[in-house]
Amino acid sequence: MSAVSRLDQERAVELIQHAYADGRLDPAELEQRLELALTATSSTELRPAVADLREEQVVRLGSVGGNVVRTGDWLVPRRLSVDSEYGKARLDLSRAHIPYAWIDIELRLAYGSATIVLPAGASANADGVRTEWGRVVCRAAGRPGPGRLHVNVTGELPYGRLTIRNARPTHR
C-alpha cells in the first residue's frame, strides 16, 4: 500500500471529469468518485475511483501522398490525429457513430487542406489550429449546446485550409 501523491489525485480527478464529460458517468457517480479520489490516502483507496475508466488512446491516421477520408457509418474515436504530407483530409462525422459528447481532433497537414463535416447541431472550436499561408473557416457554432456534440480541433496546416461546417439538411 503506497501513499497517494497530489499528482496521482489530480490525474484521477481528470479521468473522472473526462468520463463525466463523455457521458460515461451520471452526476451522482461523478460526485461519489470525486470524493473518493480527493480523500484517498493510499493507492488502494484511489484505485476503485478510476479502475474502470481507461484513458482514451489516440487513433492516428496518416498519409504521405494520398488523401485521408472517413465518411459514412464509421466509429469516431474520442481522440483522433491526422498526419499528411501532401494530401487532403476529409472527416465526415454527419453519419458516423460518435459515442462521446466531446471529441478532440489534431491535424498535422504540411501541404494539404482539411474538411470536417459535423452532424446537425454540433459545435466546434478551432482556436488551437495554426496556419501560415492557409486559413481556418469554421461555420459551426463555437459553443457546445446541451446534449450536442462538441469537436475541439488543434494542429498545424502551414499551407492548407481548414473548413468546418455542419451537414447540409437532406431534402426529400
Is pTM, for the whole model, over 0.75? no
User: Biggest alpha carbon distance in the chain?
Assistant: 64
The yes-or-no verdict on residue 172 having pLDDT over 70 is no
| Phi, psi angle pair for 146, to nearest 5° | -60, 130
Helix (H, G, I), strand (E, B) or coil at 142: coil
The answer to whether residues 152 and 125 touch, using CB atoms and an 8 Å cutoff, is yes
Return all residues near 104 (Cβ < 8 A) that are at least 6 apart.
Answer: 78, 79, 80, 151, 152, 153, 154
pLDDT digits (tens, 9 = 90+) for 109-122: 999 999 999 999 99
| Phi, psi angle pair for 67, to nearest 5° | -100, 150
pLDDT digits (tens, 9 = 90+) for 120-146: 999 999 999 999 999 999 999 998 888
pLDDT digits (tens, 9 = 90+) for 161-171: 999 999 987 76
Dihedral sign of CA atoms 96, 29, 146, 152 in order: negative
Residue 4: predicted pLDDT: 79
Task: Say how many Å lie between the first and final Cα of the chain, rounded.
Answer: 64
Question: What's the rounded Cα separation, in Å, for the pair 96 and 119?
Answer: 9
